[in-house]
Amino acid sequence: MSQWVYKFGGGSAEGDTTMKNLLGGKGANLAEMASLGLPVPPGFTLTTGVCTYYYDHGEVYPPEMNDQLEQGLAYIETLTGKVFGATDNPLLVSVRSGARASMPGMMDTVLNLGLNDETVEGLAKLSGDRRFALDSYRRFITMYSDVVMGMHHHTFEDILEDAKLDAGYLHDTQLTSADWEGVIAKYKAAVRDTLGRDFPQDPREQLQGAIDAVFGSWMNERAVVYRNLNDIPAAWGTAVNVQAMVFGNMGETSATGVAFTRDPSTGENRYYGEFLINAQGEDVVAGIRTPQTLTKEARLNMGEDAPSMEEALPDVYTQLAAVFAQLEAHYRDMQDIEFTVERGKLWMLQTRTGKRTARAALKIAVDMANDGSITTEEALMRIEPLALDQLLHPTLDPDAARDIVATGLPASPGAAIGEVVFTSDEAEALSKAGHKVILVRVETSPEDIHGMHAAEAIVTARGGMTSHAAVVARGMGRPCVSGAGQIRIDYEAGEFTCMGRTIKRGDTVTVDGATGQVFAGEVSMIQPELSGDFALVMGWADAARTLKVRANAETPLDVETAKGFGAEGIGLCRTEHMFFEADRLAHFREMILANSEDSRRDALAKILPTQRDDFAAIFRIMEDRPCTIRLLDPPLHEFLPHTEADIETVAASIGVPARELMARARELAETNPMLGHRGCRLGISYPEIYEMQARAILEAQAIVAKETGTNPIAEIMIPLVSSEKELEILKALIDAVAADIGVSDYTVGTMIELPRAALRAGRIADHAAFFSFGTNDLTQTTFGLSRDDAGKFLPDYVRAGIMDKDPFVTLDQDGVGDLILIAAERGRATQSDLKLGICGEHGGDPASIDFCQRAGLNYVSCSPYRVPIARLAAAQAAIRAKG
C-alpha cells in the first residue's frame, strides 16, 4: 500500500529534507525541523504523489488516502490534545500548498480551518478570549471564501468597512465581540447570496475543500504558464501541508515574525528580520502595522523606538537565536525562517535556504568557507555566476530619486550618465571634447562602432537582447537599453519623445542597463567594488576549473579589460571591426569598388600597415597568451552605404561617381545575407584580402616577438567553412605568407558554425589545428532562424511553450549541442589533440558553459565583462562533472 500521508511533529517525522520531490520544499523542511527536535506544530503532508495520481485518474484521489488522512488528523489530535471539530477543545489547522519549486499562481494558504459557529465558542473558551476567537473565525471565512470558494475578498472588506463606518471606528482593534458577531453574520449571508449555498460548517468538508483547491490550482492557467516558462514538468505535482494552528495574536506574549539568519542584502553575519506582537502572519505582509526589529543593534541602527524582539521577548529571542544557529549549522547555509510565538512559546513554521543578492552570496560563501562550515567548492556552487554581473558594473543607488522617461530591454548591464546624442559622429566628437554622452539610435549598425565606443551607454528604439547594439555593447561592457519601443526619434529635430516627454540633444539622462530603464537627469550611482572576497572566489574558481576562459575582443581597450578580468587568451578577434575605423573604411571601400585583383591589392596595401599595428597592439597586451584572430567575415555590402543620401556623401568623399557606388552596392546586395557571400567564401573569391590579413597578423607577431622578447602566438581562424577543401586552400595561402615572412609559430584553425562543418569535422580536422564553435551562426543555421528576424515571432513561441529559452542566449543542447558533440567526436577521431573552443555569445552563459565542460571542450570565449562569470561557471561545471 502506498504511503500518501507523511506525519511530523513532537520531535520526530516520517520525512526529511532529502524528500523534497515527494513532500515538496515546505513539507520536507517541516519534517526535517521536527526531526531536529525543533518546536514545529504537528501536522502531516499529502504527497506530490497524490497530486499526480489525482490527475492521472480523472481527478479522483487514491482510495487509501482518506484513511491515512484520518490517521494524520488523529496524530495531530494526540500531540496537541485537541480534537478536530470538537466544540469544547477544537483543533484548528492551516492548509498550505508546497511544490518542489516555488510556484506563483497556486493556492497558497488557508488558516484557522476547523472553525464554525460551534467550535468558535470552544476556541473562545479555550483561549479565554472571545474577541480573539471571533476575529479568527472572520479571518477564516474571508480567506476560505476567497481562495477555496472563489469569492472576491473585496466583498468581505466592504462589509467590514461598512461596519466600522457605522460604528465610527478607525481601526479593526476597536471592534468588540458583538461587532464581530454582526460582521460574521453578514459574511455568511454574503456567501449564501453570492454562491447560493451556506459557508461550510463541517470541519472535514472544510478540509477536503481546501485540499481540493490546492490540487486544483496546480492546473490553473497562471501555474501552467509559469511551469512552461520555467521548464517545470506538470508531472512533478504539488504537496499539501496540514498543520495544527498556533496563534501569534493571543495577546502581548504572542507574536509572529520572519527572519534571515544573515543579511540577504550585504551578506553580513547578523540577523535580519522583523516581527509583530499580537499578530498573525498575514498582518506582517499586509503592512498595516509597522513591524519591529529582531535585535537591539538593528533597532538602534535604524533609529527606531519600538522595542526589538531581543528587548521585548528576551527569553523567546534567546531560544530563537539558538534555533537560527542550529538551522544554519544543520543546513550549512543562510536560512529564511518563519516563526510564531503563542503565549510565550516559540513555534517554527518554515525554514528554507534564503535568497540573497550577488554581493551577499559572495560574502556568505566566503565567510562560511573561511570558518570551515563549507568547503571552497561548496562556496563556489553557492554563487550564481550571472549575478556577478551586478558586481562588475556601476549600479544606481537604490535610495536615489528617479524620474523614468523610457523603458526597454536590459540589454547590457551597468549604469551610466551622459548627454543625449543621436549620431555616432557626434558621440565621438563630443566625447573627444571631454563630454560624457549617451548614444540614442533607432538601431545601430557596424558603422556605429566608433560612436558606441565613445558613448557611456547606448539606447535603441528597436532590436532585442541579441540585436547588434546589445551584442556589441555587452562585448564592450557598455550599458545598453535596447528595443525601447515607445521612443520616437526625430533625428532632424535632434530629439526623442517617449511617454509624452521630449528629450533634446544635450539633455542629461541616466541609463540603467540592468533594468532597461532610462531616467531624466542624473541618478546617483554606486561604483563596483571588486573586493577581496571577489578576488578570493575567482582564485578558488581558477583552481577548480579545467576549462580555459578567453575573451572575444579586438580593441586595445577591450583586450586590456579582458586581461584585467583574467582572460587567458583571445578566443575571437573580429578583424572586420577594424575596417570600420574611418581611415580604413575609405580604403576598404576602394578595394570593394576595384575592378581587378591588382587594384584590389593596391587598396589592401594601404590597409596593411594599420592592420599590422592593430594586431601588434593586441600581441603586446596579451604577451604569450594565445590570440585567435578571425579573418574577414561579413559580406562586403555591409561596408557600403545603404541610403541614397549616404551613397552620395561617400561617393563624393572617395571620389567615385555615386552611380558607380550605387551599382556596386546593388550588385552586392543579397536576399539572405546570413547565407551569402561572406566568411571564407570571400577568401576564396578574393584571396588577396585574406593574404593581406595573414601578412598583417604574422608580421605583427614577428615584430612584437622581437621587440618584447615574449612569444606571441597567432591562431588564425577561417570563418564559415563548410567543406574541408575551403580550409585546405586557405591554409595553404596562409602558410605561403608565413613562409615568405619566415614565421612558423602560428596555427590555422576554423570556426565550426555551419551544420555541414560539424558533420564534416572528421575531414576538416585534417587541416585544422583547432575548432572554435561559432554558436551564434550555428544556432541560426541549425534552427533555420535569423537572429535579426526572429524577434517578430519568438514571443508567440514563448507563449505556446515551444521555446523555453532564447537559443541565442542559452545553447540549444538538444539540437545545436548535438552537432557540437558530433563535431567534437569526429574531429578528435582524426586528431586526438584537436583544440576545441566556443566563441559565440553562449561562451559567457553558465548553462552553456556547463555543456562545454561535458562536451570536453578546451576553452570558452566570451565578451570581456563576462570573463569572471565564465571563470566561476567553468568552476561549477568542473565540480558538477566530478560529482
Binding site for a copy of itself (CB under 8 A): 670-677, 681, 684-685, 720, 722-723, 725-726, 729, 753-756, 759-760, 777, 780-786, 788-790, 792-793, 796-797, 800-803, 812, 814-816, 818-819
Distance from CA of residue 246 to its chain's centroid?
A: 37
Region of residue 11 (phi > 0: left; psi between -120 and 50: alpha; otherwise: beta): left
Region of residue 176 (phi > 0: left; psi between -120 and 50: alpha; otherwise: beta): beta
Q: How far is the CB of 445 from a copy of itself (least distance, A)?
A: 11
Nearer to a copy of itself, 327 or 733 (CB): 733
39 grid coordinates:
518546536
Known catalytic residue: 393?
A: no
The amino acid at residue 785 is: L
Q: How far is the CB of 463 from a copy of itself (least distance, A)?
A: 12
Q: How far is the CB of 161 from a copy of itself (least distance, A)?
A: 41
Per DSSP, the residues of 324-348 read HHHHHHHHTS-EEEEEEEETTEEEE
Q: How far is the CB of 590 from a copy of itself (least distance, A)?
A: 20
The Cα 336–Cα 324 span in angstroms is 10
Local structure of 736: helix, strand or coil: helix
Known catalytic residue: 839?
A: yes
Instruction: Return the DSSP state at 859.
Output: E
CB neighbours of 856 closer than 8 A, spacing ≥ 6?
Answer: 824, 828, 836
CB neighbours of 37 closer than 8 A, spacing ≥ 6?
Answer: 11
11 grid coordinates:
520531535
Q: How far is the CB of 674 from a copy of itself (least distance, A)?
A: 4
The amino acid at residue 436 is: K
Q: How far is the CB of 710 from a copy of itself (least distance, A)?
A: 37
Catalytic residue among 51, 498, 627, 839: 839
Q: How far is the CB of 398 from a copy of itself (least distance, A)?
A: 39
Per DSSP, the residues of 407-467 read E-EEEE--EEEEEEESSHHHHHHHHHTT--EEEEES---GGGHHHHHHSSEEEESS--TTS
The Cα 575–Cα 554 span in angstroms is 7
522 grid coordinates:
542624473
The Cα 261–Cα 264 span in angstroms is 9
Distance from CA of residue 364 to its chain's centroid?
A: 20
Nearer to a copy of itself, 595 or 672 (CB): 672
Nearer to a copy of itself, 209 or 762 (CB): 762
Local structure of 642: helix, strand or coil: coil
Inter-residue contact 541 to 875 (CB < 8 Å) = yes
Q: How far is the CB of 758 from a copy of itself (least distance, A)?
A: 9
The length of the chain, given as a count of residues: 883
Nearer to a copy of itself, 236 or 797 (CB): 797
| 3-class secondary structure per residue, 455-467 | CCEEEECCCCCCC
Nearer to a copy of itself, 404 or 674 (CB): 674
Determine whether 55 is exposed, middle or buried from the number of CB atoms within 10 Å of its CB (0-12, 13-18, 19+). middle
Q: How far is the CB of 219 from a copy of itself (least distance, A)?
A: 17
Nearer to a copy of itself, 50 or 819 (CB): 819
Instruction: Determine how many CB atoms are found less than 10 A away from the CB of residue 137.
Output: 25
Inter-residue contact 231 to 307 (CB < 8 Å) = no
Local structure of 202: helix, strand or coil: coil
Region of residue 668 (phi > 0: left; psi between -120 and 50: alpha; otherwise: beta): alpha
Please report which residue ranges of 57-202 form alpha helices under DSSP H. 65-80, 119-127, 130-147, 153-167, 177-195
Nearer to a copy of itself, 590 or 753 (CB): 753
Nearer to a copy of itself, 568 or 726 (CB): 726
Q: How far is the CB of 776 from a copy of itself (least distance, A)?
A: 12
Task: Please count the CA atoms within 13 angstroms of the CA of 259 that sit on its side-chain side.
Answer: 29
545 grid coordinates:
576549473
Nearer to a copy of itself, 119 or 782 (CB): 782
Q: How far is the CB of 759 from a copy of itself (least distance, A)?
A: 5
Please report which residue ranges of 455-503 form alpha helices under DSSP H. 468-476
Catalytic residue among 450, 453, 468, 587: 468
Nearer to a copy of itself, 106 or 465 (CB): 465
Nearer to a copy of itself, 291 or 817 (CB): 817
Identify any residues that bridge with 274 across adjacent strands, giving them in sequence order. Answer: 258, 293
Instruction: Return the DSSP state at 278.
Output: T
Which residues does the annotation mark as catalytic? 468, 839
